[in-house]
Structure 1
Amino acid sequence: MVDCVSSNDIDFERCYRAVASRDSRFDGQFVTAVRSTGIYCRPSCPAITPKRANVTFLPTAAAAQQNGFRACRRCLPDAAPGSPLWNTRADLAARAMRLIADGVVERGGVPGLAGALGYSQRQLTRVLSSELGAGPLALARAHRAHTARLLIQTTRMPMSDIAFAAGFASIRQFNDTVREVFAVSPTTLRDEARRLRGDTLPPTNGTLTLRLPFREPMDRGWLEWFLSAHAVPGMEQFEDGTYTRALRTPHGHATVRLAFDAGFVRAGLLLNDMRDLAPTVARLRHLLDLDADPVGIDEGLRAGRVGFSPGIRVPGSVDGPELLLRTMIGQQISVPAAVTHTTRLVESLGEPVTGPVRYLFPSPATIAERGHEVLTGPARRTAAIVAAACALASGDLQLHAGRTIADLRRDLLSLDGVGPWTADYVSMRLVADPDTLLHTDLVVRHGATRFGIDLNDTARWSPWRSYLSMHLWKRALSERAAPAARLARPRIAAAN
């Protein structure tokens, strides 16, 4: 991984070389603050490279804003892919950033963020200020500014509605923040966008079309297979290269359409409540692992002499409870069989929605109450799924991206019917952990044998063992069946 900014340490020379070469791989990993202009940029900004004496490198846009710099309106540093550090690091600062991106501060304030992480507000603020150059409020403010800019430039929504949707407490706070961050009023920001593209935006009506950038290369085929093979009819569909699904959001629900393009994913969002824009985007980026540094990952795996296809991603999730319950339904059976069982559950207990898909995945409370009426198969498995749903509905089990792997895995293994494979698989996808090896998976083990890989050699494959698992999964499955659409998830080696 490229690592110019690591906690309090900044490698000035390495960062400056990245800026001088306009290397887009570094976009989102740090920002370049230029003292002579008062502007901060992404590393690949096409502007003239600033003099060394005028440059400061900072880990986040929030840190730049806190130090009085305003965002470049040419390179839009807030629109860069997110930092891969929030996935590879498992410390408090990284876990906090995942929850801030999900809008936890807007919904519960700093107390809600601190509570979810298990720290006091004072401890949390001290750590974030030291590590990232800004406290939780400033970091959340930077996310609100980014959401506001998206809505200003890509919709015709009234400014008052945008202020509310972006999470601002008042119109005045919205106006002041936009002026401070972008050095122009919201109206000017919208006028500039109109001049660049022409006034071609249709009325919003709750629907947005956004570009979600990522770092090349991207193994598009792997993600398309994963999404299509696991799609549950009625709740998800994959047609003509477009993935569509309904998902729960903090203030209601959303329907999303995702299609891959060169350097970005085109996302169509139909939101029940516009306040859910930022959390929905964060969850989609997490689902597709769009903030990964594929060049750094591929270099790390090639150092272990593995010739795999470049740019593979580890699929994440859009909803922790759904991930766990669907994984438990699919234990010991193939992907098609798991889809069949899950479809029956969704059609019987799912919440109806309007649009191209018809249902949301049932809530844990609904499955806890009525799951035994619908779920089929071994009675022990049904009882385990219902018990897990009860733990989720009561709050005894918390599944969110701010948890540590160790605590999450411990809680999952305490559930009846959850073994090491399920705990590892759910943990890997829920918190985007890059270093979880699915060593009990039969297909992963088959792939390792086929390619002469020692899965016990942790030093060689860390910290990218999750990506190694995906490579082995893909390659071994590809050899077993063709075309790719017929590939099925392996049966699990360990009894769960």
Structure 2
Amino acid sequence: MHTDTERCVRAVRSKDSRFDGWFFTAVLTTGIYCRPSCPVVPPKVENMTFYPSSAACQQAGFRACKRCRPDTSPGSPEWNARADSVARAMRLIRDGVVDREGVPGLATRLGYSARQIERQLLAELGAGPLALARAQRAQTARVLIETTGLPMAEVAFAAGFSSIRTFNDTVREVFALAPGELRSRAARSAKPPATPGVIELRLPYRAPLNPSNLFGHLAVTAVPGVEEWRDGAYRRTLDLPYGHGIVALTPHPDHIACRLSLTDPRDLTLAISRCRWLLDLDADPVAVDEQLRADPLLAPLVDKAPGRRVPRTVDGAEFAVRAVLGQQVSTAAARTHAARLVTAHGTPVDDQEGGLTHLFPAPEALAGLDPEQLALPRSRRRTLTTLVEALADGSLRLGTDTDWEQARAELAALPGFGPWTVEVIAMRALGDPDAFLPTDLGIRRSAQHLGLPATPAALTARAAAWRPWRAYAVQYLWTVDDHPINHLPAQGSPS
């Protein structure tokens, strides 16, 4: 979009927050870059230039605006709506892979050479993987500086910097303030969290956002010990590269409040990325709803409660296991089966603020389980053990960078994986915005109620007009039934 100067200028002049994260405005006369919705008076057109990423702005020598903080914009919705190599690379960089594995590790995961990845990212984003990762490190450092009392040396290494000097130079260059100045400014405007070691931040999103189905779905399907709804927040444990964490996510009218407790602050980048992915916060709801609203039978559902997101997962392997446990049983039964696995094979954690007790067991921890101990039909035991083996040995990967169609083919080849299980994993674990569930009983009932075709083949044909947003159409169709997943849980007692 950044190449469409006229459209970008209109967005800047109208201060349209819908375009935050789509592109960035660099001001030639001041040397700063802003988000489109920056509250300052827009500069003259001849003094504006546009970039596709904050990293490209920084690489061109521009500093982040202190008013609009463009580094905190929602991410571009493009990277979650595409499955090509650039989009997959951006999802991996967002997860901190370059910091942990370097550019060679990024290239290996994508099946390309480092030079090919560099060339593709430069062509589309104006910055290579190192520059993109550097911009993300700067933002992680800012969060740690402003929301924790960690010594600056610990902040530097937790954010992924290789030296204190590089950390200091980068913060000054990007934010035009020294790390100590950033902390002083934050201390004047915000109070520190009451609990030491807890990081509190706001997760931005593009409006509108309807929290009902998003948090309702997560709360109703929560696995005891791993997830809970407590005091208006969805809470869960996180299994992370350097340790583990506990997060509490609370919906607000203009942001999601995120409260993180991490055993190692180096996991902050990935923890934030996983939370944004879980809640689908980088979506473009205006574009989605506009297309779905064009169908006269869907339009009333969209108009009634616009901005529905697709509730995802923090771990693709975890969700695949839970999807198998949920085959042809009630939500309550699926939670019971999952809770038994958690108690028997999950890693215990200490939760000082609630009732969370375990991490969900990794595939490696489940690989040796005795199928005879599972209270499941024999065919489903085979389905689960085969899935776990494939996940544990690496022959099946279900990450944010996974090729969607390849994963579908690999899942369909496993015993007991029909279209519903494959598509629900594609929708919630892989994040394919076009995943569709025409065989789902709730979808078929909703279709019949609305006057849509009720048979899977006919409904799929009708749904072609909703592409590439059929996963969002599913969220609207599920609202036809008055199911608990469509409502925020009552305040008070945990789920």
How has the CA–CA distance of structure 1 residues 482 and 196 changed in structure 2, closer, same or farther, with 3 Å as cutoff? closer
What is the aligned counterpart of 2:187 among 194, 210, 218? 194
Amino acid at match of 1:127: Q
Tell me how far apart the structure 2 counterparts of residues 161 and 99 of structure 1 sit (CA, whole Å): 24
Residue in 1 that maps onto 2:482:
478
What is the aligned counterpart of 1:12 among 5, 21, 24? 5
2:280 maps to 1:289: yes
Residue in 2 that maps onto 1:324:
320
Residue in 2 that maps onto 1:489:
none
Tell me how far apart the structure 2 counterparts of residues 453 and 81 of structure 1 sit (CA, whole Å): 35
Amino acid at match of 1:281: I
Between Structure 1 and Structure 2, how many residues are aligned?
476
2:391 maps to 1:386: no
Pairing of 1:157-172 with structure 2 (within 5 A): 157-172=150-165
Tell me how far apart the structure 2 counterparts of residues 238 and 460 of structure 1 sit (CA, whole Å): 36
Residue in 1 that maps onto 2:249:
258
What is the aligned counterpart of 1:302 among 293, 304, 324? 293
Residue in 1 that maps onto 2:456:
none
Tell me how far apart the structure 2 counterparts of residues 160 and 51 of structure 1 sit (CA, whole Å): 41
Tell me how far apart the structure 1 counterparts of residues 272 and 219 of structure 2 sit (CA, whole Å): 20
Residue in 2 that maps onto 1:341:
337
How has the CA–CA distance of structure 1 residues 130 and 482 changed in structure 2, closer, same or farther, with 3 Å as cutoff? closer
Tell me how far apart the structure 1 counterparts of residues 127 and 118 of structure 2 sit (CA, whole Å): 8
2:78 maps to 1:74: no
How much does 1:217 deviate?
Answer: 1.4
What is the aligned counterpart of 1:103 among 92, 96, 102? 96
2:240 maps to 1:244: no
2:210 maps to 1:219: yes
How much does 1:240 deviate?
Answer: 3.2
CA deviation profile, 1:382-421 (whole Å, cap 9, x unmatched)? 1221121111111111111111211111111122221221
Tell me how far apart the structure 1 counterparts of residues 361 and 44 of structure 2 sit (CA, whole Å): 56
Q: Which has the larger displacement, 293-302 or 127-136?
A: 293-302
Partners of 1:206 and 1:274 within 8 A in 2: no
2:341 maps to 1:358: no
Tell me how far apart the structure 1 counterparts of residues 470 and 373 of structure 2 sit (CA, whole Å): 37
Partners of 2:402 and 2:430 within 8 A in 1: yes
Tell me how far apart the structure 1 counterparts of residues 277 and 468 of structure 2 sit (CA, whole Å): 18
Tell me how far apart the structure 1 counterparts of residues 370 and 306 of structure 2 sit (CA, whole Å): 41
How much does 1:480 deviate?
Answer: 10
Structure 2: 5+ residue stretches without partners: 454-458, 491-495
For the aligned residues, what is the CA RMSD? 1.8
How much does 1:187 deviate?
Answer: 1.2
What is the aligned counterpart of 2:261 among 246, 249, 270? 270
How has the CA–CA distance of structure 1 residues 116 and 483 changed in structure 2, closer, same or farther, with 3 Å as cutoff? closer
Partners of 2:88 and 2:401 within 8 A in 1: yes
Amino acid at match of 2:24: V
Tell me how far apart the structure 2 counterparts of residues 362 and 174 of structure 1 sit (CA, whole Å): 36
How much does 1:196 deviate?
Answer: 3.1
Amino acid at match of 2:475: M
Partners of 1:368 and 1:387 within 8 A in 2: no
CA deviation profile, 1:424-466 (whole Å, cap 9, x unmatched)? 1111212322111111212112212221235313442111111
How much does 1:485 deviate?
Answer: 6.9
Tell me how far apart the structure 1 counterparts of residues 487 and 179 of structure 2 sit (CA, whole Å): 51
Q: Which has the larger displacement, 448-457 or 237-246?
A: 448-457
The alignment partner of 1:352 has SS state of coil
What is the aligned counterpart of 2:128 among 122, 131, 135? 135
Tell me how far apart the structure 1 counterparts of residues 399 and 138 of structure 2 sit (CA, whole Å): 24
- TM-score w.r.t. the length of structure 2 is 0.93
Partners of 1:447 and 1:472 within 8 A in 2: yes
2:213 maps to 1:208: no
How much does 1:95 deviate?
Answer: 1.1
2:160 maps to 1:177: no
Residue in 1 that maps onto 2:493:
none
Tell me how far apart the structure 1 counterparts of residues 229 and 194 of structure 2 sit (CA, whole Å): 27
Tell me how far apart the structure 2 counterparts of residues 371 and 312 of structure 1 sit (CA, whole Å): 40
How much does 1:272 deviate?
Answer: 1.1
Q: Which has the larger displacement, 201-210 or 406-415?
A: 201-210
How much does 1:224 deviate?
Answer: 2.2
Partners of 1:86 and 1:98 within 8 A in 2: yes
The alignment partner of 2:343 has SS state of helix
2:403 maps to 1:404: yes
Tell me how far apart the structure 1 counterparts of residues 188 and 196 of structure 2 sit (CA, whole Å): 23
Tell me how far apart the structure 1 counterparts of residues 338 and 134 of structure 2 sit (CA, whole Å): 39
- TM-score w.r.t. the length of structure 1 is 0.92
Residue in 2 that maps onto 1:64:
57
**Percent of aligned pairs sharing the same letter:** 51
2:270 maps to 1:279: yes
Partners of 1:72 and 1:182 within 8 A in 2: yes
How much does 1:151 deviate?
Answer: 0.9
